[in-house]
């Protein structure tokens, strides 16, 4: 689920002429590019990792249903 979101974000950055790579996001999580790639393939991101990536991108992680909750 979240891996697909990351793929879309990377595509959007590229379309907008901005550079953002999986390696950049791996550094945010203090892991190697290979470890990040494994997380992408398995889609095994923790809530803490989602929040770290969101913060790095200037975004907010949100749980949305009948109500909306910001993950901090």
Which two structure tokens, joined as six digits, stand for 60? 């907010």
Domains of the chain: 2-71 (1.10.260)
Cβ burial 11-29 (10 Å sphere, 16+ → b, else e) = eeeeeeeeebeeebbbeeb
Residue 59 in this model has a pLDDT that exceeds 90: yes
Task: Report how far residue 42's alpha carbon sits from residue 56's, in angstroms, rounded to the nearest whole number.
Answer: 22
**pLDDT level of residue 71 (50, 70, 90 thresholds):** confident
Residue 46 in this model has a pLDDT that exceeds 90: yes
pTM, rounded to two decimals: 0.88
């Amino acid at each position: 689920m979240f891996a697909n979101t990351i793929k879309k974000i990377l595509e959007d950055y590229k379309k907008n002429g901005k550079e953002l790579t999986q390696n950049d996001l791996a550094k945010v999580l203090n892991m190697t590019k290979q470890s990040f790639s494994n997380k992408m393939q398995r889609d095994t991101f923790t809530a803490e990792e989602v929040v770290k990536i969101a913060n790095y991108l200037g975004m907010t992680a949100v749980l949305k249903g009948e109500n909306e909750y910001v993950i901090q």
